[in-house]
Amino acid sequence: MGIAGVCYAEKLFQNNKSFCVIDNKKTGSSKIAAGVFNPTVLKRYNMIWNGEQFHKNAITFLKKIENKYKIKIIFKHDILKIFSSISDQNNWIVASKRPLLKQFLDSKIYTKKVKGIKTEFGYGVVKKCGRISTLNMINGFKNKFKNNLLNEDFDFKKLSSHNQKIVYNNIVSENIVFCEGYDIINNPFFKKLPVTGSKGEFLIVKISNFSLNKIIKRSSIFIMPLENEHYWVGATYDNLDKKNKPTQLKKEWLIEKLESIITLPYKIIDHKASMRPTTIDRRPMIGFHPDYKNIYLLNGLGSRGILLAPTLSFWLYNYIYNGLPFPEEVDLNRFKEINI
Ligand SMILES: Cc1cc2nc3c(=O)[nH]c(=O)nc-3n(C[C@H](O)[C@H](O)[C@H](O)COP(=O)(O)OP(=O)(O)OC[C@H]3O[C@@H](n4cnc5c(N)ncnc54)[C@H](O)[C@@H]3O)c2cc1C
């Protein structure tokens, strides 16, 4: 189960709708994601599409489920964006004055040393960010809703539609919402949609006596504190390699990046890979199948799933149960020429 499934099922629960989650327990991208929530794009100094609303809704939603599951999900950390040049500093100052960005980017250029980090051009602080423990979120959901879970690989042969109801084995429901991440490529109803996938690899390293409590962003990677002196280091983006396995080549790339940022010794604990469910136009997709009006999709969360999933669930829910429209930018119908 991934974060799309958790958010949509939660939305159903919050509205007193009954539901059943069918999950094959495979490790999708949610379970290994860094879980960083940050609505800004630090490479280009702008906001993601609809970033302010996504951020606000995600925080409200995640706080609510954190209280409900009685498990820590939100870890607040500023992000230190380490500059690589004087022009990088200047771009930061300009960006930090823009209307949407200014609530997130602190306009000051900091030069105070950060133990273990190379900061020759100083750094800027991104506020209101942090990480979500996606594992705690998914496990919290599963504990709370044990009776709503069916642990099996979804078998499309068992699915049928009778009198406008969805039937799967002995389960009869009004609708079905597929939230399969990159595994959508095996879904006969939606596999033609352009979920291209972007493979991400990362390292877990141990760095003793580092005591970093901020997220570091430099040279296109994050170094993010976990528990017990462990740090998440990544990630890579690869649109060509579609295998879920980590590679030696990307490991070396990550090590090179890491060593260009930190000055302390480290030990590699783990190296993992997964596919981000990215789309051809980098927007998520929700909506129904053109031939089956009660078969729905919530997918394409790309590299910002944490921020997107709560609002998309809200939009999809409101569409299904209240007939309210959602923004056409996320409508899977934008790919209608593909003839799914
Ligand atoms: C290395 C890496 C780092 C990332 N870091 C971040 C980050 O810092 N912040 C952020 O916001 N996003 C991040 N992402 C992206 C994020 O992981 C995704 O946007 C998000 O997890 C997608 O969630 P999902 O629920 O759509 O898919 P998934 O997490 O892939 O979940 C889909 C689930 O569906 C289930 N499933 C699929 N098919 C079937 C079937 N036939 N039967 C039964 N069950 C099935 C599987 O169990 C699977 O777990 C990262 C991704 C990667 C790869």
Per-residue pLDDT tens over the stretch 117-161: 999 999 999 999 999 999 999 999 999 999 999 999 999 999 998
Domain count, the chain: 1
Segment 262-274 mean pLDDT: 97
Segment 193-209 mean pLDDT: 96
Tell me if 320 is assigned to some domain. no
- Comparing 3-7, 159-163, 213-217, 247-251, the range with the smallest average pLDDT is 159-163
Tell me if 97 is assigned to some domain. no
- Output the domain CATH number for residue 230: 3.30.9.10
Segment 294-319 mean pLDDT: 97
Tell me if 233 is assigned to some domain. yes
Is 261 within 8 Å of 223 (Cβ atoms)? Answer: yes
Mutation to probe ligand 1, out of 180, 282, 313 (largest number of atoms < 8 A from CB):
180
Tell me if 39 is assigned to some domain. no
**Cα–Cα distance between 57 and 63 in angstroms, integer?**
10
Give the distance (Å) from ligand 1 centre to CA of residue 50: 21
| pTM of the predicted structure, to 2 decimals | 0.96
User: Hey, what are 72's tokens?
Assistant: 């820590």
Tell me if 321 is assigned to some domain. no
Mutation to probe ligand 1, out of 36, 40, 61, 303 (largest number of atoms < 8 A from CB):
303
**Cα–Cα distance between 340 and 318 in angstroms, integer?**
24
**Cα–Cα distance between 270 and 268 in angstroms, integer?**
6
Is 82 within 8 Å of 118 (Cβ atoms)? Answer: yes
What pLDDT, on the 0 to 100 scale, is given for residue 336?
81
**Cα–Cα distance between 139 and 6 in angstroms, integer?**
10
Continuous H helices in the chain: 3-14, 29-32, 51-69, 86-95, 134-144, 248-261, 305-322
Residue nearest to atom 10 of ligand 1 (CA): 304
Query: Does 178 score more than 90 pLDDT?
Result: yes
Instruction: Give the confidence band of 26 by pLDDT, cuts at 50, 70, 90.
Output: confident
Tell me if 96 is assigned to some domain. no
Tell me if 147 is assigned to some domain. no
**165-168, strands of its sheet edge to edge:** 159-162, 165-168, 171-173
Domain range for 253: 198-276
Give the distance (Å) from ligand 1 centre to CA of residue 196: 14
**Cα–Cα distance between 329 and 7 in angstroms, integer?**
20
What pLDDT, on the 0 to 100 scale, is given for residue 12?
98
pLDDT tens digits along 60-72: 999 999 999 999 9
Give the distance (Å) from ligand 1 centre to CA of residue 267: 27
Instruction: Show the ligand 1 pocket: residues with CB < 6 angstroms.
Output: 1-5, 22-26, 28-30, 33-36, 153-154, 179-183, 200, 202, 234-235, 274, 276-277, 299, 301-307
